[in-house]
Amino acid sequence: MMGDPMISKGITLTRHLLDDRTPIEGDLGALLIKIGTVSKLISREVNRAALHGKLGYTGEINVQGEQIAQLDLWSNDVLVDALKETGLVCTMVSEEMEAPLHVDRNCLPGSYVVCFDPVDGSSNIDINGTVGTIFSVRHRRGHGREHMAADILRKGTEQVAAGYVMYGPSTMFVYAAGHAVHGFTWDHTLDDYVLTHPDIRIPRQGKTYSVNHGNYHRWSEPTRRVVDYLSTPDKATGRPYSLRYVGSMVADLHRTLLEGGLFMYPGEAGEGKNAKGKLRLLYEVAPMAYIVEQAGGRASTGDERILDIEPSEYHQRVPIIIGSPDDVILAEEFYQGKR
Ligand code: AHG
Ligand code: MN
Ligand code: MN
């Protein structure tokens, strides 16, 4: 019976995803349930890190040239094992693994590529700040190892699902799979996620902008002009916007998704390491762009739609301007010389 999808409040994530009224393809529901299950393990570990000596850094540097937190590695391994166990995931790309992981035995027709950031906002772990997990799901098209790169480096429009888990005052699972964006809150008594934010829609315009203002001196002229404009008082256009910045993309984007406004991680002027910004396309920017667009928002580099970008490398960085459609369009006008 194709009634409304299961989106009345109080429905658990498991029931929602397994119900035939929720328009989700094939094994995707089972895959998302697995990600939800493993996120509860990560949530528990985040909550107990200080008690378990899991704070701090391993002393190793990842492919990004960044310090690896203990929880980054632990969460990566837990996610890899869980995705392997599903039998559905043929290829994995992770912020914490230099090369993609190919799982031959899972590489059947209809299998998935999952790109993920096991712990986003790691610098917040040791100060008990909000962190998250970000994931992006797309189909394998070929089946052998030789087809792996071609299947990974595809536009964000080919994602079949994307989501994030936010380990904040409550743990939330937010996903989109082509129809709507739904948010679930972990109910410890049920030990399952319960639908609390059905059909999230981002406001057309917001009142906050979210960017690391400390990089102002490194930005290109258009970025500076966007931020100068948003922070200049003008009652008629609801300015100045308030600045909100957690330093964890999941936390900053969750606020932007619910309340509207703008999140930016722009590139820096010149040809340095951060010329394209800091955030990675496959497992941070593209999944978040997919989610925000399905909530009615917009995501671009300032010049081009994020989901139309054809990736060339696994850990490729892109500048991102994302959030309420009116706010992103306004920012784009500065980048495109219309303001
Ligand atoms: P990660 O911890 O996975 O490396 O991601 C951190 C990212 C993102 O979460 C956040 O928006 C950004 O880094 C903050 O960077 P700055 O500290 O340079 O502002
Ligand atoms: Mn991240
Ligand atoms: Mn990370």
What are the structural domain ranges in the chain? 13-197, 208-335
Q: How far apart are CA 339 and CA 330, in angstroms?
A: 9
| Token pair listed for 193 | 């996620």
Percent of the chain, pLDDT > 90?
85
Q: What tens digit of pLDDT does each residue of 155-171 get?
A: 999 999 999 999 999 99
Q: Ligand 3 center to residue 316 CA distance, Å? A: 14
> What is the number of the ligand 1 atom nearest to the C-alpha of 134?
3
Q: What tens digit of pLDDT does each residue of 236-291 get?
A: 999 999 999 999 999 999 999 999 999 999 999 999 889 999 999 999 999 999 99
- pLDDT in the model for residue 50: 83
> What is the number of the ligand 1 atom nearest to the C-alpha of 279?
7
- 315 class by beta-carbon count within 10 Å (0-12 exposed, 13-18 middle, 19+ buried): middle
Q: How far apart are CA 218 and CA 135, in angstroms?
A: 30
Q: Which residues line ligand 1 (CB under 6 A)?
A: 66, 95, 117, 120-122, 212, 247-249, 252, 265, 278
Using an 8 Å Cβ cutoff, are 263 and 300 in contact? no
Q: Ligand 3 center to residue 133 CA distance, Å? A: 8
- pLDDT in the model for residue 3: 57
Using an 8 Å Cβ cutoff, are 156 and 289 in contact? yes
- Residue with CA closest to ligand 1 atom 16: 247
Distance of CA 211 to CAs 224, 245, 309, Å? 11, 6, 22
| Residue entry with tokens 């410890």 | 188
Q: Ligand 2 center to residue 132 CA distance, Å? A: 8
Tell me whether residue 94 is annotated as binding.
Answer: no
Q: Ligand 3 center to residue 3 CA distance, Å? A: 39
CATH number of 13-197: 3.30.540.10
Look at residue 7 and tell me whether its pLDDT is greater than 90: no
- pLDDT in the model for residue 14: 95
Fold adopted by 208-335: D-Maltodextrin-Binding Protein; domain 2 (3.40.190)
